[in-house]
Structure 1
Amino acid sequence: MISGLHVQYYFICHRKLWLYSKNLGFEAEDEKVIDGSLLHDRAYKNADRKELLIDQSFKIDVIDGDYVREVKLSSKMTEADKYQLLFYLYQLKKRGLNKKGLVSYTKEKRTEEVILTDADERKLDEIEKAINEILQSEKIPKRLKKPYCRQCAYYDFCYISEGGDT
């Protein structure tokens, strides 16, 4: 079953997506993951409808009226954030609920509206197929060597397991 996090990781790093899907739990102690969890707790403490598990398939942070809301620390991964939210909107639409999205970036103190289009739905169908191919592969995807790798929970795994070169 694909979740919004799978979609986000698809845009960030296929290797991270694959490792996460294999239940390699490097994220539990990761500082950025802990910061994100604390942010979610603080951002939605007054929300009535938060951490909603939909059909035992995926979890939405908050539904606030016509909007599904996501909060992020920064906008460094805007495409990944947008498609994670679009995934939620598409899944809700398939279940008869039409919503819009809002993603809030706390460091920049700004919020962006996300609207699901027909083109987004087609792209999400393609992304879901690609994610399933990655998840079903027995071979780990190649390392990306991106500037943000150093902040990743899987950094040590990726670089120690392949000789430590950067």
Structure 2
Amino acid sequence: MRITGKHINYYHICHRKLWLFHHGISFQQTHDNVADGTLLHQTAYPQRAQRYREIQIKGIKIDFYDPHERVVHEIKRSNKMEAASVAQLQFYLLTLERHGVVEPTGLLEYPKIRRVEKVVLTDADRVAIAEWEAAIAQLVAQETCPSVINKPFCKNCSYYDFCYSGE
């Protein structure tokens, strides 16, 4: 099974969202927050496309990578799900390491609030990521979708109508 950055991110947010995403059920193309995030990604740093490279490795896509400094730039709309965003970026760093990049680092960027967080990879992170990968493989292999988690942030999720259509 190929695990992507979205798998890691969704694993830290909602197991139901992860399961649905993995099984090809997606509402992202019609959700306003997704469109806003895409627009932010395209307009926040207009000069970046010329300076950095987009790379794809084993099913993951890193939009902005500085090969000279070995830095992954990850742009997010908000820091509300920061733990999931950090985990996703750490997964990208480990994937680069697995492909021979020595000591890559990351910058988690929140242009709307003008904040940047540096992300590095520790030995403990490497162990944790291996555990996440195993847990994700086990979770998506389940025959049934996990239950709704009913958290306040569910209202902003592209899966909200799907999860709460029966209520």
TM-score range, shorter chain: over 0.9
Once the two structures are TM-superposed, the CA of residue 123 in structure 1 deviates from its matched residue by 0.1
Once the two structures are TM-superposed, the CA of residue 22 in structure 1 deviates from its matched residue by 1.2
Is it true that 1:107 corresponds to 2:108 in the alignment?
no
Residue 12 of structure 2: aligned partner: 11
For residues 54 and 16 of structure 2, what CA distance do their matches in structure 1 show?
27
Residue 36 of structure 1: aligned partner: 37
Is it true that 1:59 corresponds to 2:61 in the alignment?
yes
Q: What amino acid is aligned across from residue 150 of structure 2 in structure 1? A: K
For residues 46 and 160 of structure 2, what CA distance do their matches in structure 1 show?
32
Q: What amino acid is aligned across from residue 63 of structure 1 in structure 2? A: Y
Alignment TM-score, normalising by the size of structure 2? 0.92
CA contact (8 A) 1:6 1:17 kept: yes
For residues 130 and 18 of structure 1, what CA distance do their matches in structure 2 show?
12
Q: What amino acid is aligned across from residue 65 of structure 2 in structure 1? A: I
Residue 80 of structure 2: aligned partner: 76
Residue 89 of structure 1: aligned partner: 93
Residue 46 of structure 2: aligned partner: 45
User: Aligned to 2:29, what secondary structure does the other structure show?
Assistant: coil
For residues 104 and 148 of structure 1, what CA distance do their matches in structure 2 show?
21
State percent identity of aligned pairs: 45
Once the two structures are TM-superposed, the CA of residue 25 in structure 1 deviates from its matched residue by 2.4
Residue 2 of structure 1: aligned partner: 3
CA contact (8 A) 2:44 2:111 kept: no
List alignment gaps of at least 5 residues for structure 2.
Answer: none
For residues 28-85 of structure 1, the C-alpha deviation after alignment (integer angstroms, 9 at most, x for no partner) is: 1100111111111113432233432124x21012112331010111100010000000
User: Aligned to 2:30, what secondary structure does the other structure show?
Assistant: coil
Q: How many equivalent residue pairs?
A: 161
Alignment TM-score, normalising by the size of structure 1? 0.92
For residues 5 and 45 of structure 2, what CA distance do their matches in structure 1 show?
18
C-alpha root-mean-square deviation of aligned residues, in Å?
1.2
